[in-house]
Amino acid sequence: MITMAAMSVAIVSCSGKDETEGPAEINSGTEVQQSAPTTMMLETVSTEPTSSPTPTPSPTPKPTLTPEQRVVTVTFTGDCTLTQDYRSGNKLFDSTVDGDMEYCFQNCAEMFKNDDMTLINLENPVTTVTGHKDNQYIFRMKPENLEMLTLAGIEAVNIANNHTMDFWENGLQETRDNLDEYGIIWSDSHYGSTFTTDSGIVIGMVGLDNDTDASDVSGIIAKLKDEGADIIIASCHFGKEGVYEPTERQTRIARSLIDDYGVDIVVGTHPHRLQPIEKHNGHYIFYSLSNFCFGGNYSLSDPDSVIIQCDFIMDEDGSSCVDYRLRVYPYSQTSTRPGNDFCPKPYEWESEDYFRVMKRLEWAQGDE
């Protein structure tokens, strides 16, 4: 009779894993114990209960969009300062508007309302803070005057510009809070934002001021992509004031945003003059759209402005822009000349003014 050695059963417990590694696994291997001339197979057991692995969810495919749903129309204008200099004794903007929240944009509101989104550069803090910088011009918009934007169909603003800190950090934070309260999407060089169209296409926005380089907002752009942005717009408040051609720095930053960071379109403001439209590697750059409704300037040496509508043509599921169409509308910053009545109006079709704007943009309607 063969005498067998006493056998011991090894009890093995599984080590736990954190949530990022999935559920703990049960060790179901075997241990071999030799005792000549007989070999016995002893099961290794676990003290942990057996559980089914958590299935990995499959991504939900985006539905195929109709041809109409694949077209996303975004309208762009230049600098808007909906107030006058804070220290000025002549409150010409306030007295001209006279509390009429539909006055400034009455000639373009229908266009803004009938697109998917309208984006402007809002070049004034929206705050009640009183302590301010000692700059040449200081702007402060009344919070209740944000109704000018909502009534006109303006959904989004860039606030990365050289006046955003006129009332220091407190004024900037209150500006953000007031825009949130009125349901207006905002972005700057510290925060991106997203807007979702009725067809479910997500537009991502980021802002750059004149001290911001393309690489400075790379993290914001990456985050917008992670959040599902199908279109990314960069609003750049850059360049040199009073000139009609972009600087080397403008060109470098705008092209880098497209080539290095995957931005779909670059919209420039700040020079207070129109600058050319460029198509770079299949993407549009508007180097400067000039001023649009600018309450800080009572006398206009150059009233030329423009509204640009861009149709972003998306792929079948709306996840990527595959083509663009532009419509260019030459505008004057004022309805009366000389002077400035803060009510932009379109130039007459094929007038001398109309063609001057097109020449400065280096654009012809036949380009599209």
Of the CA atoms within 13 Å of residue 362, those in its CB half-sphere come to 13
Q: What is the pLDDT of residue 48?
A: 41
Long-range contacts of 322-326 (CB under 8 A, 24+ apart): 324/265, 324/283, 324/284, 325/368, 326/277, 326/284, 326/363, 326/367, 326/368
Two structure tokens written together for 324: 């663009």
pLDDT value, residue 345: 98
| Domains of the chain by residue range | 7-50, 71-367
What pLDDT does residue 56 have?
Answer: 54
Check whether 23 has a pLDDT greater than 50: no
For the chain, percent of residues with pLDDT exceeding 90 = 81
The phi, psi pair for 258, rounded to 5°, reads -80, -50
Specify the pLDDT at position 63: 80
Helix (H) or strand (E) holding 324, with range, is strand 321-332
pLDDT at position 33 is 34
pLDDT at 58 over 90: no
Q: Work out the average pLDDT over 101-122.
A: 98
- Of 143 and 23, which is predicted with more confidence? 143
> CATH code for 71-367?
3.60.21.10
| Average pLDDT of span 119-132 | 98
Mean pLDDT for 182-189 is: 98
Q: Measuring CA to CA, which residue among 285, 261, 262 is closest to residue 275?
A: 285
pLDDT at 366: 63
pLDDT category, 368, cuts 50, 70, 90? low
Mean pLDDT of 213-236: 98
- pLDDT averaged over the chain? 87
Per-residue pLDDT, 365: 73
pLDDT above 70 covers a percentage of the chain that reads 82
Q: Which segment of 8-22, 160-174, 340-354 scores lowest on mean pLDDT?
A: 8-22
- Cα separation, 240 vs 235, in Å, equals 16
Mean pLDDT over 319-345 rounds to: 96
Closest CA to 294 of 58, 83, 37: 83
CA distance 334 to 324: 30
Can you tell me the mean pLDDT for 223-243? 98
Higher local confidence (pLDDT), 271 or 51? 271
Find where tokens 């762009």 sit. Answer: 76
* Residue 35 vs residue 354, higher pLDDT: 354
Query: What is the mean predicted confidence (pLDDT) over 52-58?
Result: 55
How far, in Å, CA of 136 to CA of 118, rounded? 30
Which of 17-21, 159-163, 252-256, 331-335 is predicted with the least confidence, judged by mean pLDDT? 17-21
Q: Please indicate whether residue 36 or residue 297 has the higher confidence score (pLDDT).
A: 297
Stated pTM of the model? 0.83
